Chains A and B, each alone.
Chain A
């Protein structure tokens, strides 16, 4: 009972000229209300295909079988119109590149109004008022002024905040974040992660957080799902996966994280000659 998102036996394939290319091969998982599930894995392991499948946003040659239930409501097989009512309303997505995920020719205000006008059927005036509150909520100073600005006038971190505001405009119960911090520098990354975590608490959403950065996982995840080659190789709560990884791939993934304490990786060792004496030139 009560799972916010329940994915069972999800298979996602792309039809290509050379036959069907499987991206996700029969994975199952669930996300509860107020919980953050991190999907980790290397490039091409099916992380993004999974999140796009949930949103129903696969490219035209994508195919899904299996079951995806949001609040018990089956999503697979829904018509495009039905999906449009759910997207942005019940579930939302934020993307990797805040540089390209905002339309360069429109002001921030114009784009923020869109979800409100689509789902809430608000008038332009009401939507503008709501947008100001939203920008305030995601920690953007001077929201009234920012509404009139264009994406290129904002920094990467600000843009990602705007994206988050757009995604959360209609209080979705599920937020899918597809590597939202990858394109940002480390300090901004930390701020965005903290923001997503705060908003999750405030709004009681479930979050699916896709990343390949184990450091990010440790900060935000409640549970972790490790993917490799389109399959789930390990799933568990964040402490057990980090402390006692079961699968060899998870072990390697954790071992690949640079360790700040391990000085040998960061300092060039002094060149030593065969007899052990140190040379200096």
Chain B
């Protein structure tokens, strides 16, 4: 069809062009590390979704005659913990928790950050107030801010989600505000105003879609950080409470058995590491793939 116009190098205007998902995805697939990351994330998602089908023993089921079994012993793929609970089962139920907590806190954080960032970027009058609030949130070291919020709300996974999403707001707000500020000054926004578009229409329909690239990168990177923070908070006893198969809590529980059963801590630790690694390399890859200048190297 009209594909004679897809000749990349020919086009000298290297501004951001079509929001072509397929094109970006193809560029992402050229990055081997990002593909590896995507592969890990895909496995994580499959495991989390089909968790009940993949285990022979529930994550809470204790078997006191089979405690502290090593990896692969007596049919337990990853061994058992000090109560005889199957580590494999706990690990994949833990993936569920990590993904749900990570995703929901990133989404909540994005919503908050988008609202603040778009308003601050578009309305000069609100900019000062909003950015001072953001600065205030930024002033706290992230994990301390999260601990503070949990101290106020009480320890539970839901509160961890709230804490981490509040922690994600300032970063997102700054990124969005920056994009909104530069896009607002473009002539096409003035042109849209001259056609009678309302502020809400301009913000939501014309500025927001122009910010998607940095938001996607931010959200992906943030997923890794959110999962790590959830585990860190749980490790400190502020998040998921003991019987819950949360990775951070599992590391904490394994601490006392470091010599007799090191796999109790090492396995969830490796799981956290791989997950964060995966989200980071995919985020990196996306940043490169969404960069319009990459097209010229194509």
A130 to B248 Cα, complex, angstroms: 59
**Is A163's beta carbon under 8 Å from chain B?**
yes
Report how far A119 CA is from B190 CA in the complex, Å: 17
| 28 pairs of residues in contact across A and B, judged by CB atoms under 8 Å | A55-B194, A57-B193, A84-B196, A84-B197, A86-B196, A87-B196, A88-B197, A93-B194, A95-B191, A100-B188, A101-B187, A101-B188, A101-B190, A101-B191, A103-B186, A103-B192, A104-B16, A104-B188, A105-B17, A107-B18, A114-B195, A115-B196, A118-B195, A118-B197, A150-B17, A152-B11, A152-B13, A166-B191
List of B residues within 8 angstroms of A84 by Cβ:
196-198
* A62-92 contact mask (Cβ, 8 Å, vs B): 1 or 0: 0000000000000000001100111111001
Q: A163: which B residues are within 8 A, CB to CB?
A: 191
By Cβ-Cβ distance, the 7 closest A-B pairs, closest first, are: A88-B195, A88-B196, A87-B196, A93-B194, A100-B187, A103-B188, A115-B195
Asked whether any CB of chain B lies closer than 8 Å to the CB of A148, the reply is: yes
A118 and B13 contacting across the interface, CB-CB below 8 Å: no
Kindly supply a per-residue 1/0 record for chain A positions 198-220, scoring 1 wherever the CB is within 8 Å of any chain B CB and 0 otherwise: 00000000000000000000000
Kindly list 18 other residue pairs between chains A and B, CB separation below 8 angstroms, not including A92-B194, A95-B190, A105-B16.
Answer: A55-B194, A57-B194, A84-B196, A86-B196, A99-B13, A100-B187, A103-B188, A103-B206, A105-B17, A105-B19, A106-B209, A114-B192, A115-B196, A119-B196, A148-B2, A150-B18, A152-B11, A166-B191
Please measure, in the bound complex, the distance between the C-alpha atom of A217 and the C-alpha atom of B19, giving whole angstroms: 40
Query: Which listed residue (A85, A103, A145) contacts B210, Cβ 8 A?
Result: A103
A84-B194 Cα distance, complex, nearest whole Å: 8
In the complex, whether B23 has a CB less than 8 A from a CB of chain A is no
Closest to A176 in B: B194
Enumerate chain B interface residues (CB-CB to A < 8 A).
2, 5, 11, 13, 15-19, 124, 186-188, 190-199, 201, 205-206, 209-210
Contacts of B193 in A (CB 8 A): 57, 87
CA distance A86 to B194 in the complex (A): 9
Contacts of B206 in A (CB 8 A): 103, 106
Q: Is A60 an interface residue (CB 8 A)?
A: yes
Report the interface size class on chain A: 35 or more
Q: Which residue of B lies closest to A166 (CB)?
A: B195
| Nearest residue, chain A, Cβ from B12 | A152
Q: Which residue of chain A is the closest to B183 with respect to CB atoms?
A: A103
CB pair B194 A118 closer than 8 Å: no
Contact partners of A107 in chain B: CB under 8 A? 18
Any B CB within 8 A of the CB of A149: yes
Distance (Å) between the CB of B52 and the closest chain A CB? Answer: 42
Q: Is the CB of A100 within 8 A of B17?
A: no
Centre residue among A80, A102, A152 by max chain B CB count within 10 A: A152
Query: Does A126 lie at the interface of the complex (its beta carbon under 8 Å from any beta carbon of B)?
Result: no
Shortest Cβ distance from B85 into chain A, in angstroms? 51
Smallest CB-CB separation from A145: which chain B residue? B2
On chain A, the residues within 8 Å of B209 by CB distance are 105-106
Closest chain A residue, CB of each to CB of B198: A84
Q: Does A231 contact B (CB under 8 A)?
A: no
- CA–CA, A86 to B195, complex, Å? 9
Collect the chain B residues with CB atoms within 8 Å of residue A149's CB.
Answer: 2, 5
Kindly report which residue of chain A lies nearest to residue B195, judged by CB atoms.
A88
